[in-house]
Amino acid sequence: FHDKVMRTNGGDARLLSEAGLHQLVFSVNRIDDVHCRAALAFFTLIAYPAFRDGNSRTAQRVADWILTDNGYTPEDHDVEMTGLVQGIANFTVEVADIKEWLRSHYIEKGNFSR
């Protein structure tokens, strides 16, 4: 995901913390709830950057992929997560907040009667 972000948007593609990236993957893969898994990945990549540049953009792509790969689709195809990114940077958004935001902005495919 990060490589795609760097090819599309440019930036410094160097890895900042390989250990942090491994910890993220390990932690996220232990969670059964898909919204919680996506929220933790999103939060962790932004709060504890693994790359020199593109962490927020990568976090958004990873969270979106986790949800879409598990049968969810964004309610609006231009889902904007900028407010969440800002909240993490300002220490006003936690994983639980992100999880609830994702639950309200992604719906199960075929379940359009919310």
- List, for residues 35-93, the tens digit of each pLDDT value: 999 999 999 999 999 999 999 999 999 999 999 999 999 987 666 788 999 999 999 99
- pLDDT per residue over 2-26, tens digit each? 999 999 989 999 999 999 999 999 9
- Name the residue among 50, 49, 52, 81 with its Cα closest to residue 64: 81
* pTM of the predicted structure, to 2 decimals: 0.89
Whole-angstrom Cα distance, residue 13 to residue 2? 8
CB 107 within 8 A of CB 35: no
